Amino acid sequence: MTEEIEIDPQQRFEDLLKRDKYRERISQMAVANSTSLIVEFEDLMVFDFSLAQNMVEKPDDYFEHVNRAAFSQLETEDSEYASRIDEVTVRFRSLPESTQLRMLGAANIGRLVMVEGIIVRATPVQPQVLRGAFRCKRCETPSYMDQAGPFLKAPTRCTNPTCQSKGPFEFLQEDSTFIDHQQIRLQERPEDLPPGQLPRTLNVKLSTRDLVDKARPGDHVSVTGIVRAEAPVLPTAGKLRVFRLHVDANYLDVESKEPEAALILPEEEESIQELAQDPWIHRNIMRSIAPSIYGYDTIKEALMYIVFGGVAKHLPDISIRGELNILLVGDPGTAKSQLLQYIASIAPRGLYTSGRGTTAAGLTAAVLREKGGGMTLEAGALVLADKGVACIDEIDKMRPEDRVAIHEAMEQHTVSVAKGGIVATLNARTAILAAANPSLGRYDAYKTVTENINLPITILSRFDLIFVLKDVPKRDLDEKMSAHILEIHRKGEVAVETPIPSDLLRKYISYAKNVKPVLTDEALQRLRAFYLEMRAVTEKVEGSPIAITARQLESLVRLAEARARIALRKEITAEDAEAAIAIMNKSLEEVGIDITTHMRDIDIIMVGKPKSMQDKLRRILDEIVELSKEAGMVEKRLLLETLSSKYKIEAFDAQKLIGRLIRDGTVYERRPGFISKV
């Protein structure tokens, strides 16, 4: 029978830290003016598995051992720097497995865990007392007391043997030891959320300068720390039996401050480069987007561009957005919601929300009152989707006062908040993919897009591309679609084999975000020629509508940049410019055509009224002013007769246009049958 030899944990930690890797990190501490040392937990497991197990189960005891071991090694490496600091804090990175936020419970109290989530709230950094200095008011003797818990605790007795009084004590701020303290709130990541469940949250306490302000709301983080339980205190009844869990952070790792920062292995990078060399890469990615949904090649091409995005430009006076905004308008049952949910799952920082249950504060930022009386910001959907794609379903069902919140985010890519004494501007550099249903149930081809959907023109004009999904019976298409749907139901899986698996596609998108393509002369000339050609139509024929504006030219550049980025090219070719022009033409043919003149008219999207309608409204208004000079108003019957004889405007059309002027508040009915200008 052999006796087990008691091993000193501190000695074992010292043996680990004597390795070249950690000796080098310890010697660099003085250069960085740091008091913390990062240790890979995997190294500890390989070095001594039982020590790593004890570290997880009894972290409070073993952190003392490892911190003393690190300080001892610092004294060996740099005794001068060690004499200037009191202690070294060891921070463990990457535990072998993370604990799901909703799985934390009583069994985890006092253990070392790693949890992952999204930061939705962060308090301001405040000083917290670590060691309090007190002075006895009777004998002036100072005494010191380590602090823990939410309340400041004074000594029970004076340390002077001749005094021994129970107080009162005066707190000495200048002699006390303070540390920086911040509290963040973690929320479960969308991919970890079980269907139909509300996301859980967990408070995380950060201490010391190297942890606070390291991450901001919207960041995906993994936190290594010790699980604590704290009993809430009621003013009269005392502490409650039910405790609240929180985590005292030991290490905070920002996983995706930028979507480009996704972890890509060398063999995956090789696969990505190999895919990019394929001349059919664009078609392969389109076929990999929502493979369960049949058809919609043009829509899928647009969705491909939105996830890759263009390049943002930051000039001294202005910033030009790189992300695209796309609107899908369609009949019920045309798979709009499925497309949005797929893009939210595959895009870096993708986020899906429905307009029915969305408020302005939920989209931008909510100002909440803290227990202490202060105010704090909690990030909304557009801020959480920063550098990603925000998918907003049923945007037309949002309340108008809530919908105005996305105006600024769509063009300026910021969210400005001025509430409760907080004035702040948060980043919301997100592409917006929105879906809307026609206001009358089905899309009416004999009405403009603005008449078909219940959206203000200020939002409609900010979309780069708008597509209409119509449910029109066509025998050939219906046969293929029905076969596709029934095959999915029969097999219970996607009937079509996708060229690129979704996991690899997600990493491909993150990798491509690092590419910043620039316009070549050929691409620039092609885009310029198309823009000038479209503008020239208005010049040639007097009174013609404006076919395109500078806003569409910028959209063309973003589309061309996205197409070049897909192939991992650093230059935008003429082929990219042609593809951008082609998809812009398809969008304008659906929503930018005046249904009465059959001419292209960008005013339908930019102003809400085609030029032909604007001209008719102007004539009606002129006639109302002319005919009401004497009496101050005009009889509707006389106005309709004049419009019919003078301008050939039929009575039915004239009635509709007059009704529009009344709704706009330009004219009003002074008494039944008589109209006057406001």
Other C-beta atoms lying within 10 Å of the C-beta of residue 499? 17
Q: How confident is the model at residue 196 (pLDDT cuts 50, 70, 90)?
A: low
Q: DSSP label at 103?
A: G
Q: Is there a contact between 388 and 441 (Cβ–Cβ < 8 Å)? A: no
Determine phi and psi for 132, rounding to 5 degrees: -90, 140
> 606 or 410: whose pLDDT is higher?
410
Please report where in the chains the tokens 């909703």 appear, as a residue.
102
pLDDT at position 559 is: 92
What CATH topology corresponds to 9-93? mini-chromosome maintenance (MCM) complex, chain A, domain 1 (3.30.1640)
The pTM score is 0.71
252 closest CA partner among 119, 149, 130, 380: 119
Residue 408 one-letter amino acid? E
Residue 86: is its pLDDT beyond 60?
yes
Other C-beta atoms lying within 10 Å of the C-beta of residue 173? 10
pLDDT at position 604 is: 61
Q: Percent of the chain beyond pLDDT 70?
A: 89
CATH class for the domain made up of 266-512: alpha beta
Q: How confident is the model at residue 558 (pLDDT cuts 50, 70, 90)?
A: very high
Cα dihedral across residues 436, 439, 441, 445: positive or negative: negative
pLDDT at position 597 is: 57
Pairing of β 465-469 and β 325-330: parallel
Section 591-606 average pLDDT: 59
Section 309-334 average pLDDT: 84
Please report where in the chains the tokens 């897009």 appear, as a residue.
449
- pLDDT, tens only, 95-137: 888 888 888 888 888 899 999 888 888 887 888 888 888 888 8
Alpha carbon distance 307, 390 (integer Å): 10
Q: How confident is the model at residue 635 (pLDDT cuts 50, 70, 90)?
A: confident
Q: How confident is the model at residue 5 (pLDDT cuts 50, 70, 90)?
A: very low
Q: How confident is the model at residue 4 (pLDDT cuts 50, 70, 90)?
A: very low
Q: How far is CA 359 from CA 59, 138, 402, 428, in A?
A: 43, 59, 5, 16
What CATH topology corresponds to 611-677? Arc Repressor Mutant, subunit A (1.10.10)
Provide Rg for the chain, Cα atoms. Answer: 33
Q: Which of 195-199, 518-522, 664-668 has the highest mean pLDDT?
A: 518-522
- pLDDT, tens only, 143-159: 888 877 677 888 888 88
User: What residue ranges do the domains of the chain occupy?
Assistant: 9-93, 101-255, 266-512, 518-606, 611-677
pLDDT at position 320 is: 82
What are the b/e assignments for 519-547, b being 16+ CB within 10 Å? bbeebbebbeebbeebeeebeeeeeebbb
Residue 32 one-letter amino acid? A
Q: Which residues contact 601 (CB under 8 A, 6 or more apart)?
A: 545, 546, 547, 592, 593, 594, 610, 611, 612
Distance of CA 161 to the CA centre of its chain: 61
CATH architecture label of 101-255: Beta Barrel (2.40)
CA-angle at 449, arms to 444 and 450, nearest 5°: 120
Pairing of β 375-379 and β 365-369: antiparallel
Section 484-511 average pLDDT: 78
CATH code of 518-606, in short, is 1.10.8
Other C-beta atoms lying within 10 Å of the C-beta of residue 303? 26
434 closest CA partner among 462, 402, 393, 380: 393
> Cis (ω within 30 of 0) for the bond into 217?
no
Beta strand extents in 431-563 (DSSP E only):
431-436, 465-469, 518-519
Task: Classify residue 552 by burial, with Cβ atoms within 10 Å: 0-12, 13-18, 19+.
Answer: buried
pLDDT at position 2 is: 41
- pLDDT, tens only, 436-488: 888 777 777 777 777 778 787 788 888 888 888 887 777 887 777 778 778 77
Joined together, the tokens standing for residue 556 give 């063309």
Averaged pLDDT of the chain: 80
Element (H, E) at 247: strand 244-254
Section 17-46 average pLDDT: 85
Residue 582: is its pLDDT beyond 50?
yes
